[in-house]
Structure 1
Amino acid sequence: MSERAATVRGRPIPKARVDSFLRTVPATPSRGARRYDEHDEALSARAERQRRRWATQVVVADELARRACEERGLAPPPEASPTGILAIAGTDVADLGSIIAAALAHSPAARLLLAELEKRQEVPETAVRDYYDRNRDRFLTPDALRRGVDPFGRPAPDDFLPYGKVREGIERDLRKAAGRRAFFDWFDQARASVVYAAGHEHPGDPGHQDHEHRH
């Protein structure tokens, strides 16, 4: 039986590396004291298979990010050290998807690569100004908020924070969003050539019976 979970550019990713990461992720929640029947057992087994496939994606992302950092001449970050329970913010899962959120929480290389991609994004002044003009409700002054001013009604000009005061924050947020999109694009392209062992395919790969699009 093969001891690899996947192969990245000819280099095998050992199953032991996936197992090590899995130990940092809470297992499938218990169903409590109610009767545990064969249907539950089948569902639990399916969930564990999908959990392993998901974990393989996270480990592959770490390996790919390490390669990408090396290729870009970035200082090699320390190896991901799976100790303790992995902490992943729920907002990150909602914004990034669970695989990317977990990869960024787990992998110093992934975080370094994301920071590099974000740094390289150019945000035109026109984009910053356009965001300010189209999202005025986000820039009401504290006093206007207390008074319940309707930003889409007839607010006074001084009900809004001046553009010069919020411009830097808008640019930072837009650069962050652009960096994340660049990271998504990089990951989709980088993992296209990865070869997975049976039982370690992507959770949404229709080639296996447990596939699902929600991951």
Structure 2
Amino acid sequence: MTTEHAALIHGEPLPRERVDSFLETRPFRGAGNGATSHDEPAPARRQTEPPSVARQRRRWATQVVVTDELARRACADRGLKVPDEVSPVSVLAVAETDVADLGSIVAAALAHSPAARTLLAALEAEQTVPEAAVRDYYDRNQDRFLTPEALRRGADPFGETAAPQDVLPYEHVREGIARELRKAACRQAFFGWLDQARGGVTYSHGHEHPGDPSHPDHEHRH
């Protein structure tokens, strides 16, 4: 018997209609064609779609919708105001070959969900990068901070072919390094939050994670 919910989140049903709606408005590309949208109607694109691809698409879409719902709840708990929903046409497309990839799920959730983006921004604002970590990154990655002239000469900052002036001064690149380290810490915090939040989710048959080995079409790539 077909259930009316795609998942239970802490015992509360997530309607299948939300997954169906996402699938109807989501642009997809065929294997190997990249990640852009089509102009032709969705039914015409899916006439020759293998059943296994359709099943994986639904499981993948469920993960995106569940992430959106979890983010909405997290924002509500934090008192964060979530912007209005975006138009479906602005949602980033992802290739069908990537539907089982966890990275594509999070990328699609961030494109689809204002709540996920709001939570991500809040997590980024909470990250503090110690000065020692910024300096350590600079010292260990001198090759990333060569001057244009040094790059043209092929200077090696870890060898004898580079002079001190061939490397951009720390104070010139410090802010950029700190920003990148803060974003990296934010991504780790978001993944950590999502892993923990998913612990309260139970999926209905046909809506399991696309990498779940308990169903025959499972597929998981890193």
- The two structures have a TM-score, normalised by structure 2, of 0.83
SS in 1 for 2:121: helix
Q: Which residue of 1 aligns with 2:199?
A: 192
Q: Is the 8 A contact 1:82 1:106 kept in 2?
A: no
Q: Distance in 2 between matches of 1:212 and 1:89?
A: 16
Q: Which residue of 2 aligns with 1:118?
A: 124
**Partner amino acid, structure 2, of 1:133:** D
Please tell me whether residue 181 in structure 1 is matched to residue 183 in structure 2.
no
The 1:84–1:44 alpha-carbon spacing in structure 2 relative to 1, beyond 3 Å, is same
Cα distance, 1:85 vs. partner? 6.3
SS in 1 for 2:88: coil
SS in 2 for 1:7: strand
Q: Which residue of 1 aligns with 2:110?
A: 104
Q: Which residue of 2 aligns with 1:26?
A: 28
Q: Is the 8 A contact 1:53 1:202 kept in 2?
A: yes
Query: What's the CA shift string for 1:58-90, capped at 9, x where partnerless?
Result: 0000000000001011113324x4622632589
Q: Distance in 1 between matches of 2:169 and 2:199?
A: 46
Cα distance, 1:152 vs. partner? 2.3
Q: Distance in 1 between matches of 2:178 and 2:73?
A: 30
Q: Is the 8 A contact 1:26 1:85 kept in 2?
A: no
Query: What's the CA shift string for 1:78-123, capped at 9, x where partnerless?
Result: 24x4622632589xx8x97111111011101101101111111111
Cα distance, 1:143 vs. partner? 1.4
Please tell me whether residue 203 in structure 1 is matched to residue 210 in structure 2.
yes
Q: Distance in 2 between matches of 1:89 and 1:60?
A: 17
User: How do 1:88-99 residues align onto structure 2 when only pairs under 5 Å count?
Assistant: 88=93, 97-99=103-105
Please tell me whether residue 14 in structure 1 is matched to residue 20 in structure 2.
no
Alpha carbon RMSD of aligned pairs, Å?
Answer: 2.6
User: Structure 1 stretches (4+) deviating beyond 3 angstroms?
Assistant: 27-30
Q: Which residue of 2 aligns with 1:57?
A: 63
Q: Distance in 1 between matches of 2:58 and 2:94?
A: 20
Percentage of pairs with the same residue: 64
Q: Is the 8 A contact 1:61 1:187 kept in 2?
A: yes
Query: What's the CA shift string for 1:122-150, capped at 9, x where partnerless?
Result: 11111000000000000001111122212
Q: Distance in 2 between matches of 1:29 and 1:125?
A: 45
Q: Is the 8 A contact 2:67 2:116 kept in 1?
A: yes
Q: Distance in 1 between matches of 2:214 and 2:54?
A: 18
* Number of residue-to-residue matches in the alignment: 202
Q: Which of 131, 134, 138 is the matching residue for 1:128?
A: 134
The 1:18–1:175 alpha-carbon spacing in structure 2 relative to 1, beyond 3 Å, is same
Q: Distance in 1 between matches of 2:142 and 2:102?
A: 26
Q: Which runs of 5+ in 1 are unaligned?
A: 31-40
Q: Which residue of 2 aligns with 1:77?
A: 83
